[in-house]
């Protein structure tokens, strides 16, 4: 596994809830692949993962793509996120991939997608995010 700036960050409770885990990354390209657990507790009455949970997975994929690209110097605060739900997500493993499409001085643009274990594309997203100095964002 390639070393990234995420190696020194304790995942927040929301990431733990989603089963967030780093699978692969190319920091220089601003690309990341993550694994999530599509838990039965995340399902709507129809038995599929609720869209808000999928949106959280996408947000928790796109932000880290910027974080690793900047070597952990910049944290993102999502400004806008557009999600397209393409197929129902059944409980089980879900893979998230994201890529930084443009990194400016104050704003980043990122695209992401979620796929099921069988390769079915579940959702795609684009986001714009304000760039914040990590030291300021993590100050408590």
Residue 66 sits at φ, ψ, to 5 deg, of -70, -45
> What residues contact 94, with CB distance under 8 A and at least 6 apart?
35, 36, 37, 38, 49, 54, 57, 114, 115, 116, 117, 122
CATH of the domain at 100: 3.10.129.10
**Which one, of 22, 24, 56, 25, lies nearest residue 39 by Cα?**
56
pLDDT at residue 134, as a whole number: 92
The domain tally of the chain equals 1
For tokens 């944290």, what's the residue?
75
Q: Is residue 7 part of a domain?
A: no
* pLDDT for residue 136 is more than 60: yes
User: Tens of pLDDT along 66-75?
Assistant: 999 999 999 9
pLDDT at residue 130, as a whole number: 98
User: Tens of pLDDT along 109-121?
Assistant: 999 999 999 999 9
Q: Is residue 4 part of a domain?
A: no
User: Tens of pLDDT along 11-43?
Assistant: 899 999 999 999 999 999 999 999 999 999 999
Whole-angstrom CA distances from 139 to 126, 129, 134, 135, 136 are 28, 19, 8, 6, 5
Q: What is the pTM of this model?
A: 0.95
pLDDT at residue 137, as a whole number: 84
Q: Is residue 18 part of a domain?
A: yes
Q: Is residue 6 part of a domain?
A: no
Q: Is residue 26 part of a domain?
A: yes
Domain that holds residue 133: 13-137
Q: Is residue 123 part of a domain?
A: yes
Q: Is residue 3 part of a domain?
A: no
What does DSSP say about strands 92-103 and 107-116: parallel, antiparallel, or unpaired?
antiparallel
Q: Is residue 132 part of a domain?
A: yes
Between CA 127 and CA 30 the distance in angstroms is 14
User: Tens of pLDDT along 79-98?
Assistant: 999 999 999 999 999 999 99
* pLDDT for residue 140 is more than 60: no
């Amino acid at each position: 596994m390639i070393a990234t700036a995420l190696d020194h960050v304790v995942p927040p409770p929301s990431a733990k809830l989603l089963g967030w885990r780093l699978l692969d990354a190319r920091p220089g390209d601003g690309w990341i692949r993550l694994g999530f657990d599509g838990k039965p507790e995340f399902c709507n009455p129809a038995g599929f993962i609720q869209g808000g949970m999928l949106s959280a997975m996408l947000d928790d994929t796109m932000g880290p793509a910027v974080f690793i690209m900047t070597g952990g110097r910049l944290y993102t605060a999502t400004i806008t996120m557009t999600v397209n739900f393409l197929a129902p997500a059944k409980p089980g493993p879900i893979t998230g991939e994201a890529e930084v499409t443009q990194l400016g001085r104050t704003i980043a643009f990122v695209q992401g997608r979620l796929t099921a274990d069988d390769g079915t594309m579940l959702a795609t997203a684009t986001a714009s995010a304000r760039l914040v100095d990590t030291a300021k964002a993590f100050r408590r």
